[in-house]
Amino acid sequence: MQTQVETLEGLTRRITLQLNMAEIESEVDRRLKRLVKTVRMDGFRPGKAPLKVVAQRYGGEIRGEVMGEALQRGFLEAARANNLNVAGYPRFDRAQEAEAAFTATFEVFPEITLGDVSQIKVTRPQVEVTEADVERTLEVLRKQRIHYHAVEREAREGDRVHVDYVGRIDGNPFPGGEAKDYPVVLGEGRTLKDFEGQLVGMRPDECKTFEVTFPEGYFAKELAGKTAQFEVHMKSVHEPHLPAVDEAFARSLGIHDGDVAKLREEIAANLRREAKRRIQAKVKEQVMQGLLEVTPFEVPKALVAMESHALLERAVNDLKARGMKETDIHLKAEVFEPQAKRRVALSLLLNEIARSQGIRAEPDQVKALVQEFAQSYEDPAEVVAWYYQDANRLREAESLVLEDNIVNWLLERAQVTDQPMTLEALMGNA
């Protein structure tokens, strides 16, 4: 097969392929003769239809298959012969000048020359987990397990009350303006501030009438800016009780012997793991962004399109898993193009660094990462075994290790500034 390679714009290339039609027709004839022996056609016994009849019925389909295979084979041979590193899939078109000539238009992978990584600037958080961090976490855990006791007193901030209410605007009820045994935790701000404020000080079985003006930006536009009169019956008041940090509390959090000291140690260990994860993520993001900035290159559009569609499919599946109907999802692949382009560019960059610098994921590193993942589970050994039972899961861990090794290689050459930081600031709570 004769070929000709052209360089078009950017990474786009075009190969002209000249098919040998005598070989094509010979292969078509061979397949038709083989088909004649088994084909079933109306009016003929199996395998007894004349070759001419079979050719009229199946000749076009077989010729298309043979030519498609010849084009694919010829394209791969031409790409290898010309040392072309093809990205994505070629588009085949019939050339105008000759019946047996076709063009294959495609993109090649870019040649990447790593930029000056010493210009990458990274701020690396330095965090120590303190006793105060452990106490704050314990307080959060206690609040997640809060329970309420009924009391016979006026309602205060933090209490949970149950009320019946009816609201009217200009004497008329309105949608959503009535409820029975409605629970409100005073101070949480889940109802209108002016409504909630009127409940403070009310006692069980007390009734009260008051007015509330809906904000101008209220989500129910038909109520925005209007004043409603509410009749409220306070049915009950419950004061909050936080569980004590004791053996029972520790057992409820998975410490089987109820050792509170062990609970504190586990919380501190979990906070250290989370801090490490957050720091690694922040550092990695800065390194990746810096890497893209010092090494600009053209990204194959075909790979971006493939990644965009993969991200679209993932997003659609996620929304469906959350209960959305597919007919209500109107996302398009174009929405994901910027993210896809960045992901493809980084993948190409990281692969080039790994190849050129001989960076690998060592088996002991992969095992250490898997064991670290497993530490947050009740049976770490079972989780480790789960990873090693599936090659795909293990490859995911290997990819993470390889990425971390590349990031570490870059950090050794980048401008890194360590920044002391509290755990709260790292977590975004300060």
Of residues 200 and 94, which shows the higher confidence score?
Answer: 200
Q: Which of 240, 231, 361, 342 is nearest to 292 (CA)?
A: 342
Looking at the domain assignment, is residue 127 inside a domain? no
Instruction: Please compute the mean of the pLDDT values over residues 215-221 and round it to a whole number.
Output: 91
Q: Which of 241, 272, 289 is the last residue of a domain?
A: 241
Output the pTM of the full model: 0.75
Given a cut of 50, whether residue 430 has pLDDT beyond it is no
User: Does position 414 have pLDDT exceeding 70, yes or no?
Assistant: yes
Residues 263 and 406 in one domain: yes
Pairwise CA distance, residues 108 & 111, whole Å: 9
β-pairing, 415-420 vs 101-108, is unpaired
191 and 220: one domain?
A: yes
Q: Locate 213 and state its tokens.
A: 């003006």
Dist CA 188 CA 168 (whole Å): 25
Give the tens place of pLDDT for each residue, 320-332.
Answer: 999 988 888 899 9
Asked if residue 423 is part of any domain, the answer here is yes
Give the pLDDT of residue 258. 92
State the pLDDT confidence band at 1, using cuts at 50, 70 and 90: low
Question: Based on the domain organization, do 231 and 331 belong to the same domain?
Answer: no
The pLDDT of residue 39 is 86
Instruction: State whether 38 and 101 are in the same domain.
Output: yes
Has residue 136 been placed in a domain? Answer: no
**According to the model, what pLDDT value does residue 168 have?**
96
Handedness of CA 282, 285, 290, 291 (dihedral sign): positive
pLDDT value at residue 246: 94
Q: How far apart are CA 254 and CA 151, in angstroms?
A: 32
pLDDT digits 0-9 by tens, 378-401: 788 998 999 999 899 899 999 999
According to DSSP, the residues that pair with 106 across neighbouring strands are 13
Same domain, 295 and 417: yes
CB atoms near residue 329 (< 10 Å): 13
Of 117-131, 286-300, 371-385, 388-402, the poorest mean pLDDT is in 371-385
pLDDT of residue 53 exceeding 70, the answer is yes
Mean pLDDT of the chain: 92
Note down the domain range covering 362.
Answer: 257-427
In-domain check, residue 401: yes
**Counted domains in the chain:** 3
pLDDT at 38: 87
Mean pLDDT on 285-291? 97
Domain CATH for 330: 1.10.3120.10
Crossing angle (nearest 10°) for helices 337-357 and 391-411: 80
Question: CA-CA distance, 347 to 200, in Å (whole number)?
Answer: 58
- 315 shares its domain with 418: yes
Q: Is the pLDDT of residue 197 over 90?
A: yes
Verify that 232 and 287 share a domain, yes or no.
no
Q: What is the pLDDT of residue 52?
A: 87
In a domain, 250, yes or no: no
pLDDT of residue 2: 61
Domain of 48, CATH number, reads 3.30.70.1050
Residue 117 lies in a domain: no
C-alpha span between 188 and 182 (Å, rounded)? 14
Tell whether 328 and 361 lie within a shared domain.
yes
**Residues counted in the chain:** 430
Predicted confidence at residue 296, as pLDDT, reads: 95
Q: What is the DSSP string of 300-331?
A: -HHHHHHHHHHHHHHHHHHHHHTT--GGG---
